[in-house]
Copies of this chain bind each other. A is one copy, B any other.
Amino acid sequence: MANPLESRFATAEIAAAEQYLDHDPPTELDPRVERLVNELIGRVADKWTMLILELLEERGTLRFTEVGRAVEGISQKMLTQTLRQMERDGLLTRTVHPVVPPRVDYALTPLGNSLSAAFCGVWVWAERNLATVEDARARFDARDA
């Protein structure tokens, strides 16, 4: 495989992630704020959320069933639920067209785009270190077989 997974991100998207990389040295922080951030990360680091985020990032506006088909293995219930949460958090917009049969479009907001950029590093890490992790697991499992 000459071209690994990291190619899933366009150069422009990766460049956009750079805005998250210029900061000051560490200090102490408000524990209330820390709890909120932890809660937010827990919310947003969800499996389905990450997959839908990436999907809309690379394919643009999609309707309900298109997302459902693209995100392999998701049930209708989780699809609705995840999309609703993401809409509530301001990550995507939900546009209902008053036609029959119903048509609903989903697209990322700028906030959603920025989160996608922030997650970019994690995707790249995962695809780069996939083999390393599998090696580590094999060695760990062999240790006390």
The distance in angstroms between the C-alpha atoms of A114 and B130, with both chains bound, is 13
The distance in angstroms between the C-alpha atoms of A114 and B132, with both chains bound, is 12
A145 interface hit (Cβ, 8 Å): no
A129 interface hit (Cβ, 8 Å): yes
Interface residues of A in 93-129 (CB under 8 A from B): 111, 114-115, 117-129
Q: Say yes or no: A7 contacts B26, CB within 8 Å.
A: yes
Given A20-B125, A36-B130: A29 touches B14 (CB 8 Å cut-off): no
In the complex, what residues of B have CB within 8 A of residue A9's CB? Answer: 23, 26
In the complex, what residues of B have CB within 8 A of residue A46's CB? Answer: 45
In the complex, what residues of B have CB within 8 A of residue A141's CB? Answer: 88
Interface size class on chain A is 35 or more
The distance in angstroms between the C-alpha atoms of A99 and B46, with both chains bound, is 41
Q: Say yes or no: A133 contacts B90, CB within 8 Å.
A: yes
The distance in angstroms between the C-alpha atoms of A81 and B128, with both chains bound, is 25
Q: Say yes or no: A6 contacts B23, CB within 8 Å.
A: yes
Q: Give me the interface of A with B, judged by CB distance under 8 Å.
A: 1, 3-11, 14-15, 17-18, 20-27, 29-30, 33-34, 36-38, 40-42, 44-47, 50-51, 58, 87-90, 111, 114-115, 117-130, 132-133, 135-137, 140-141
